[in-house]
Structures are given as C-alpha cells and as structure tokens.
C-alpha cells in the first residue's frame, strides 16, 4: 500500500507556508527588446516569460474582424520546464490553457479600438511547479500594459486548493498533483471573475472558502503588478525629463 503524504503539520505546509500564504512573487517589466510589451514573473518555483506583439496586421487575413482586434494567446511549456522531459510542441493541455487564459484576459482588452488587427500574447513556461496558467496570466496582463494596449484594468490570477481536508492558497506541485482539489481563478481588481476552473472535489462551503482565499491571493498579486508598472513608468518618465533638461 502507498504511504499517504502528510501535507500540513501543525498548520505548516511542506514548503513552510501557512495555509493562507501564497508563494513569493517576483515581477520584472520590459525584459524583451523586440516585443511591444513583456514581463518575466516568478511565483515560487514557477518561472514564466510573457511577450506581447501588436496591435498588428492579422495573418492569415481571413481571421480579421471588421469591428475589433482579435486576441491570440499561446501558452507553451519548455521541454526542460518539468521533471520528465516534455515533448516539444502543442498538446491538448496547452490548447486548453491557451484558450482559458485568452478568455481570462479578453474581457478587459479594449479590442474595438483596433479593428482588423491582432494582439498576440506568447507565454513561455521556463520552470513549472503548479499554477503555471495563473503565473502566465499575471505575466501576460503586465506585458499587455507594458505594450500600451488599452485595458479596462489589469487581470490577476491565483489558485486555491484542498489538501488534508483543508483549503490552501496557491498550491505547489506536490499539493496540486497529490492533493484533493485545485481551483484557479482570475479576476479584475473590482472582483469580476474572468477564469474559474476546478479539478477534484470540494463541498459548497469549501468552494466558498477557496474562492475567498484565491481572491485574496489575486488582490495581493494586483498590488504587486501595479507597483512594478508604476515604478517602471516613473523611472522612464524621470529619464525622459533628464534627457529633455540636457537638450
């Protein structure tokens, strides 16, 4: 018989976190010179990079929409991002994650400003440790803002899970793979949910608690996303002022 993993002991999880604690986050804006907007983001051991191109001409042309821009999102996991080498190229999982991530971001993008064009979002997962879709959405949201794409707001994303019959914030790989449930969400700062998925089983009460906790995670991430964008653009503004003063 398999040994059962104990995920939580005296209120502390395998990686030392409390049940309502997310993993440390690191965000960097404007990391790629050739993209219109970009972001490198870490959520614990997840490392992702997002690149945004556009609005630009649509190829193939028949995909263009007369009244708005289309949004494309490609989620890709590097073959070296997981423990067992992943076969390169798209698979069922990456199609699903690309679709739900695009749908999580689309409601805030003002696509009607750019008819007949496309906004392309690429997310590359360099290192995976559960929650890569949420990390990708967080990075893509910042990269869209960095590209100057008009949006109603940023989007922030985080998951809650269930392990040892307890609801935990931001599950890492062991908790995600061997736990009882995983519920990733994405939302606007105003609390509008744009992504809600769930694997596994929770009672109605547990799902309410998970939603509450994941929303708290999103709010913390939003503050971080907002701060890095403000820091970046105030730095650029200061640099421009100094250049103007020299001229």
The least distance separating ligand CDP from the CB of residue 190, rounded to whole angstroms, comes to: 24
Report the C-alpha gap between 99 and 197 in whole angstroms. 12
Identify which of 225, 63, 65 has the alpha carbon closest to the alpha carbon of residue 144.
225
The least distance separating ligand CDP from the CB of residue 243, rounded to whole angstroms, comes to: 42
The least distance separating ligand CDP from the CB of residue 183, rounded to whole angstroms, comes to: 11
What does each C-alpha distance from 104 to 13, 91, 108, 187, 203 come to in angstroms?
Answer: 29, 20, 9, 8, 25
The least distance separating ligand CDP from the CB of residue 117, rounded to whole angstroms, comes to: 29
Nearer to ligand CDP, 125 or 228 (CB): 125
DSSP state of 23: P
Beta-bridge mates of residue 156 = 187
| Number of Cβ within a 10 Å radius of residue 242 | 9
Interface contacts to ligand CDP, rule CB under 6 A: 82-83, 86, 93, 128-133, 173, 176-177
| Nearby residues of 150 by Cβ (< 8 Å), 6 or more positions away | 109, 110, 113
Nearer to ligand CDP, 111 or 156 (CB): 156
The least distance separating ligand CDP from the CB of residue 23, rounded to whole angstroms, comes to: 12
Nearer to ligand CDP, 199 or 231 (CB): 199
Report the C-alpha gap between 88 and 55 in whole angstroms. 28
Q: How far is CA 49 from the centre of its chain?
A: 10
Nearer to ligand CDP, 147 or 159 (CB): 159
Report the C-alpha gap between 167 and 119 in whole angstroms. 37
Nearer to ligand CDP, 111 or 207 (CB): 207
């Amino acid at each position: 018989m398999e040994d059962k993993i104990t995920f939580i002991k005296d209120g502390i999880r395998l990686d030392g976190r409390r049940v309502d604690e997310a993993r440390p986050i690191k965000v960097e804006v404007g990391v790629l010179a050739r993209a219109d907007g970009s972001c490198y983001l870490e959520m614990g051991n997840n490392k992702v990079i997002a690149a945004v191109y556009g609005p630009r001409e649509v190829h193939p042309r028949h995909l263009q929409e007369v009244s708005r821009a289309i949004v494309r999102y490609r989620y890709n996991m590097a073959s070296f991002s997981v423990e067992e080498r992943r076969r390169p190229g798209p698979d069922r999982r990456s199609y699903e994650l690309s679709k739900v991530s695009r749908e999580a971001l689309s409601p805030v993008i003002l696509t009607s400003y750019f008819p007949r064009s496309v906004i392309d979002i690429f997310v590359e997962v360099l290192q995976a440790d559960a929650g890569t879709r949420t990390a990708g959405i967080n990075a893509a949201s910042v990269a869209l803002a960095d590209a100057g794409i008009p949006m109603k707001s940023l989007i922030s994303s985080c998951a809650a899970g269930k392990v040892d019959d307890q609801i935990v914030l931001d599950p890492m790989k062991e908790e995600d793979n061997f736990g009882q449930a995983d519920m990733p969400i994405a939302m606007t700062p105003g609390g509008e949910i744009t992504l809600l998925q769930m694997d596994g089983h929770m009672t109605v009460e547990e799902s309410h608690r998970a939603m509450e906790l994941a929303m708290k995670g999103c709010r913390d991430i939003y503050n971080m996303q907002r701060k890095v964008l403000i820091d970046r653009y105030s730095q650029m503004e200061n640099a421009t002022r100094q250049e103007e003063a020299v001229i």
